[in-house]
Amino acid sequence: MQSTLNLENISDIVQLAIKEDIGKGDITSEIFIPKDSKSEGIFIANENGIVAGLPVAKYVLSQIDDNLVFTSNVEEGSRVSKGTAIANVKGSTQSILSAERLVLNFLQRLSGIATLTSKFVEKVKGYKTQIMDTRKTIPGSRSLERYAVRVGGGTNHRMGLYDQILVKDNHLKIIESEKENGTMNSLVKKARERIGRKMLIEVEVDDLSHVRDVLNAGVDIIMFDNMEPSKISEAIKTVKEYEKVRDTAMDKAILTEASGNITLENVESYAQTGVDRISVGMITHSAKVLDISLEIV
C-alpha cells in the first residue's frame, strides 16, 4: 500500500537529526576518505518485511548532499524478502558515509512500524474493523510514524490533543472531583457549544453500565477501554439497538472502538465483535525495527 507524505512536515526532524549526528562534520570520513572519492551504496533488507520510508531516505540524502543520486528498486510499501536490494545511492563517498546511519535510522524505524501494522491488518482481514494508531509515538516523529502506519495498511487516529475531543477516565475523575455539572449529557452539550460539529467527540467507557449514558449524550465515537471481547459484543448490541430507535435523519452512525492490551494474538477476537476500529499503541511504541543495512560497492 502506498501513502502520501508531505516532506515539509518532516523538515524540522530531519534537520535536527542531521545536527545531532553530523554536527560540524564527519571527522572520520573527512580524514580517511579522499574528497574526490565516488562510490555506490546498496540498501539491503536483512529480513522479510514491509519497506517504508524510501521518500524520507531520498530527502535526507538531498539535505546532506544534493548531488547524491538515490534510486528505489522497489515501491514504497512493498513486501520484501531477506536479501532484497531495496535501493541504491551513488555519489561522494564522504557524503554517503555521513548519511548512512541517518538514512538507516529512518528506514529501519518506519519499515518496522509498517511491518508490524501490516501483521495486525492481516489478522483482521475479512472484518470491517480498521487498525488505528495512537499518540504513543516518539516525540517529534508523529507525522513520520503515522505515515508508516498508513503504508502498513493502518488508519490514523487523531493527530494530537487539538483535532478531536477524547474524554478519558482521568478527565471524568477530575470533572467529578471538581464538582462540575458532570452528567454526560451536560458535558457533551458543553463541548458542542464550543466546537459545534467541526470535531468528533469520543468518550471512553470501561463498563457496560456506562454505555447507555454515553449514547444518550450524543457522542460520535464510543471507545471500549480494556474491556473483554464478550463485553464489547454486548456493548455493540446496545449501540445497534439505540441506533434503531433514535432519529437518524440528521445523525451519523455511532462509531465504536476497542483499545487496551490488544496484541497480535487477540486482535481477531476483538474484530469478531463487530467493532469499527481497534486502536493499537504497540504498532508505534513497540515496533521492532526492520533490519536494513547499507553496503558500499
Q: What is the pLDDT of residues 287-297, one digit of tens each?
A: 999 999 999 99
Out of 204, 220, 257, 268, pick the active-site residue: 204
| Amino acid 150: pLDDT | 98
The pTM of the full predicted model, rounded to 2 decimals, is 0.94
b/e for 29-64, b at 16 or more Cβ within 10 A? beeebeeeeebebebbbeeebbbbbbbbbbbbbebb
Q: Which tens digit of pLDDT belongs to each residue from 92-134? A: 999 999 999 999 999 999 999 999 999 999 999 999 999 999 9
* Distance in Å from the first CA to the final CA of the chain: 30
**HSE, side-chain direction, 13 A CA sphere, residue 201:** 19
Out of 225, 231, 234, 291, pick the active-site residue: 225
Q: Is 190 labeled as catalytic in the residue annotation?
A: no
Out of 136, 158, 192, 231, pick the active-site residue: 136
Out of 38, 79, 125, 168, pick the active-site residue: 168
Multiple choice CATH, 123-285, 3.30.70.100, 3.20.20.70, 3.60.110.10, 3.30.930.10: 3.20.20.70
pLDDT band of 169, cuts 50, 70, 90: confident
Q: Which tens digit of pLDDT belongs to each residue from 71-95? A: 999 999 999 999 999 999 999 999 9
| Amino acid 1: pLDDT | 45
7-119+287-296: CATH number: 3.90.1170.20
Q: Is 240 labeled as catalytic in the residue annotation?
A: no
Q: Is 101 labeled as catalytic in the residue annotation?
A: yes
Is residue 290 within 8 A of residue 112, CB to CB? The reply is yes
pLDDT band of 252, cuts 50, 70, 90: confident
Mean pLDDT of the chain: 93
Out of 101, 158, 212, 231, pick the active-site residue: 101
CATH 3.20.20.70 range(s) for the chain read: 123-285
Q: What's the whole-number mean pLDDT along residues 231-244?
A: 94
CATH 3.90.1170.20 range(s) for the chain read: 7-119+287-296
- Cα angle: 266, vertex 125, 118; to 5 degrees: 75
| Amino acid 180: pLDDT | 53
Percent of the chain with pLDDT over 70: 95
Take residue 15 and report the three cell numbers written for it. Answer: 534537520
Task: Please report which helix (H) or strand (E) contains residue 271, including its range.
Answer: helix 267-271
Place of cell 470501561: 206
| Amino acid 241: pLDDT | 93
Q: What's the whole-number mean pLDDT along residues 204-215?
A: 92
Is residue 217 within 8 A of residue 185, CB to CB? The reply is yes
Q: Is 109 labeled as catalytic in the residue annotation?
A: no
Q: Is 246 labeled as catalytic in the residue annotation?
A: no
Task: Give the whole-angstrom CA distance, residue 201 versus residue 166.
Answer: 6
| Amino acid 186: pLDDT | 85
| Amino acid 251: pLDDT | 63
